[in-house]
Amino acid sequence: MILMKDIVRDGDPVLRQEAAKVSFPLSEEDQKLADNLMEYLKVSQDPDLCKKYGLRAGVGLAAPQVGASKMMAAVLVPSEEGTKSPFTDVIINPVIISHSVQSGALTEGEGCLSVDKEVPGFVPRHDRITLRYQDTTGETHKVRLKNYPAIVCQHEIDHLHGILFYDHINHDNPYEVDEGTIMFE
């Protein structure tokens, strides 16, 4: 099971690398990695287990964050009070094939299991994306996501390209976003 000690922190070069494409059928090692990434998210979202294992709750975890430079990330966005549309899968070789012109950002900014300090500021992203990825069986999916799950996936896909969320924050005006940017929780 992945614990906080297994999560690579900012400053490690693996977080700044371009990850390698994953081939199918998945190797035993890659299947295990996929399972472990998703397991971390599930356990971390259970308040009792999260506390028991000393985890930070997460909705996404990318392979490079556990030191594996591979194009794979787990996403677990549960449906919550009907405000957030759910999206759960291990996304492999994901590509954003199209996106809205409109930007979106979280009112609370973003956090990352690999970044221990809080970095204040809005992180502008695409409000809506069409995502193509393969699941662990190799089946290709094309999904349209908006708002919160779209932001989470963009954050995770960034990890596969060596990008961290704070790279997107406007350093001169951290709370400045383009006109028309949708802000949501």
Residue 68 phi/psi, 5° resolution?
-105, 110
Q: How many CB atoms lie within 10 A of CB 18?
A: 12
Distances in Å between the Cα of 99 and the Cα atoms of 10, 145, 163 are: 28, 9, 18
State the alpha helices, DSSP H only, in the chain: 28-44, 47-52, 147-159
Instruction: Please enumerate in sequence order all residues whose Cβ is within 8 A of that of 90, keeping only pairs 6 or more positions apart, or say none.
Output: 34, 37, 38, 72, 73, 74, 75, 135, 136
**112 carries a ligand binding annotation:** yes
161 is in an annotated binding site: no
CB of 82 to Zn ion, least distance (A): 26
Size of the site for Zn ion (CB under 5 A): 1
Helix, strand or coil for residue 128?
strand
Question: Cβ 116 to Zn ion, closest distance in Å?
Answer: 12
Closest CB 12 distance from Zn ion, rounded Å:
13
- Report if residue 37 touches Zn ion, rule: CB under 5 A: no
Spell out, one character per residue from 145 to 174, where the chain touches Zn ion: x when CB under 5 A holds, - when not. Answer: ------------------------------
Give the dihedral sign, CA 166/146/162/177: negative
Q: List the catalytic residue out of 39, 108, 139, 156.
A: 156
Q: Which stretch binds Zn ion (CB under 5 A): 66-74, 86-94, 104-112, 167-175?
A: 104-112
159 is in an annotated binding site: yes
Q: Site for Zn ion (CB under 5 A): which residue of 112, 150, 153, 157?
A: 112
Q: What residues act catalytically?
A: 156
Residues that bind Zn ion (CB under 5 A): 112
